[in-house]
């Protein structure tokens, strides 16, 4: 690598898993949607979504491409 940051030219999907502490589920429900707007606005972002686990309402998944 000859230039600083050259290794960052590849594109990778990212998945984020969040697990709320008991009683803080509503906090994540309120905060997470607001964070997706800036992510979706990035030049190479194809998709960013939020999902809540059916079997564990404290678990959230945010995959982005």
pLDDT in tens, 4-17: 555 555 677 888 89
Assigned domain for 41 exists? yes
Q: Are 63 and 50 in contact (CB under 8 A)?
A: no
Assigned domain for 6 exists? no
pLDDT at 39: 86
Assigned domain for 27 exists? yes
Assigned domain for 57 exists? yes
Number of domains making up the chain = 1
Assigned domain for 4 exists? no
pLDDT at 54: 93
Residue ranges making up the domain that contains 30: 13-64
Closest among 10, 17, 7, 3 to 44, alpha carbons compared: 10
CATH for 31: 3.30.70.100
pLDDT at 1: 46
pLDDT along the chain (65 residues), means of 10: 56 87 90 87 87 92 89
Assigned domain for 3 exists? no
Assigned domain for 7 exists? no
State the pTM of this model.
0.69
């Amino acid at each position: 690598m000859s230039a600083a940051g050259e290794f960052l030219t590849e594109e990778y999907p990212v998945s984020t898993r969040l697990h709320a502490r008991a009683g803080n589920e509503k906090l994540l429900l309120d905060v997470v949607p607001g964070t997706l707007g800036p992510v979706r606005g990035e030049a190479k972002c194809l998709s960013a979504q939020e999902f809540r686990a059916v079997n564990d309402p404290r678990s959230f998944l945010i995959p982005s491409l």
